[in-house]
């Protein structure tokens, strides 16, 4: 079934220039992470249990894939937080599992072209047992909402209290990790340290086991990032960095 997202899931503005990333960050602190190349999924937990999983789809409407998400290798079936939690992440298949699945496929014409295509097909299977055999992983990259019943007065009034993350995206990542989620690997950066950290990711992309097609720079200061608003296409609290195209000579 299809379902509309509570708020549109916009794509990120992109650059291939480190200087533009530095200009975007200004005097703020940011989190630089892999831009994973899979299928974006939104998870909702209620009372500590996975209640719903929806694909990004076209950003406005996605597909409900809850039964399949329960088959992902690393999604916690239960978490200690008993409130209402919404988070976003990337469903991915590692290169190792991708190659193994392709090796087991005897039909040369039916082999998958890349891990992303295999992952998209695996997540959208009508038979969740097929998904279970594909070794799909979920890597969290954004906490959207975390609310719970607070004081006794709040409970009586039916009000929900938002979890305090001290205005820090890094705090959100650390909190999600404590709940049992695998969070996208990241490095904390300033405009000064950005070039060397981009270089670190560049040096490690060859050995990175999860498919990535670039990096994401996210403002750590939640309030400041949200105050920047959004354009019709992009949120302004984050920017994607794409590697420059590889060139080679052929004969």
| Positions marked catalytic | 35
Q: DSSP of 182-231, one letter per residue?
A: EEPPEEEE-TTTHHHHHHHHHHHTTT-SS-EEEEEEEESBHHHHHHT-B-
Question: 220 near 169, Cβ under 8 Å?
Answer: yes
**Radius of gyration of the chain, Cα coordinates, nearest whole angstrom:** 19
CA-based nearest residue to 44, from 72, 12, 66:
66
Query: How many degrees, rounded to 5, is the angle at CA 164 between CA 163 and CA 168?
Result: 120
Two tokens at 129?
């047992």
φ/ψ of 249, rounded to 5, equals -90, 140
Please tell me the distance from the alpha carbon of residue 13 to that of residue 141, in angstroms, as a whole number: 17
């Amino acid at each position: 079934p299809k379902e509309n997202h509570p708020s549109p899931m916009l794509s990120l503005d992109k650059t291939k220039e480190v200087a533009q990333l530095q200009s975007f960050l200004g005097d703020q602190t940011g989190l630089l992470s892999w831009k994973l190349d899979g299928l974006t999924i939104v998870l909702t937990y209620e009372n500590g249990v996975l209640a719903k999983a929806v694909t990004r789809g076209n950003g406005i409407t996605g597909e409900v894939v809850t039964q399949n998400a329960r088959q992902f290798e690393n999604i916690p079936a239960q978490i200690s937080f008993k409130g209402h939690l919404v988070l976003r992440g990337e469903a991915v298949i590692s290169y190792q599992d991708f190659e193994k699945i392709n090796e087991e496929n005897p039909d040369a014409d039916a082999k998958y072209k890349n891990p992303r295509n295999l992952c998209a097909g695996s997540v959208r299977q009508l038979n969740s047992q097929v998904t279970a055999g594909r070794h799909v992983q979920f890597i969290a990259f954004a906490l959207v909402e975390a609310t719970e019943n607070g004081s006794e007065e709040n409970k009586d009034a039916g009000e929900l209290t938002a979890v305090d993350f001290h205005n820090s995206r890094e705090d959100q990542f650390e909190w999600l990790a404590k709940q049992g989620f695998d969070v996208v690997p990241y490095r904390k950066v300033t405009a000064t340290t950005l070039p060397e950290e981009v270089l670190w990711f560049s040096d490690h992309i060859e050995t990175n086991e999860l498919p990535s097609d670039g990096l994401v720079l996210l403002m750590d200061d939640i309030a400041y990032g949200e105050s920047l608003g959004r354009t019709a296409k992009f949120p302004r609290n984050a920017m994607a960095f794409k590697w420059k195209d590889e060139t080679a000579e052929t004969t």
